[in-house]
Amino acid sequence: MSACVIGHITVKDAEKWAQYRAQVPATLAPWGAELLFRGQLADILDGRHAHTDTVVIRFPDRAAVDGWHGSAAYQALIPLRQQAADLDLLTFSDQ
């Protein structure tokens, strides 16, 4: 069963965000992850949404998500990410 990580993002520092984004793909590769979508909010059709950007990354399974997120490579990027953006990071898996 595949799993997806969805990030809802509000960029605070564009330069630091670009640095973070440039380093993330190398942390994903060992876990078989694929970037499916990265984009900016076009419209809110219903309800509320606090963030301006979204990213969707597909992993082979939930274990790969947990391995990636807990990896030393990704953990090393979290301080930069926190300086660069406010982020809600969610995991969803097939049922």
**Structural domain total, the chain:** 1
Q: What is the pLDDT of residue 94?
A: 84
**CATH number of the structural domain spanning residue 54:** 3.30.70.100
Domain with 62, as residue range(s), is 3-93
| DSSP per-residue string spanning 11-79 | ES-HHHHHHHHHHHHHHHGGGT-EEEEEEE-----SS----SEEEEEEESSHHHHHHHHHSHHHHTTHH
Instruction: Tell me the whole-structure pTM to 2 decimals.
Output: 0.92
Distance from chain centroid for Cα 24: 9
> Above pLDDT 70, what percent of the chain?
99
Tens of pLDDT, residue by residue over 44-75, are 999 999 999 999 999 999 999 999 999 999 99
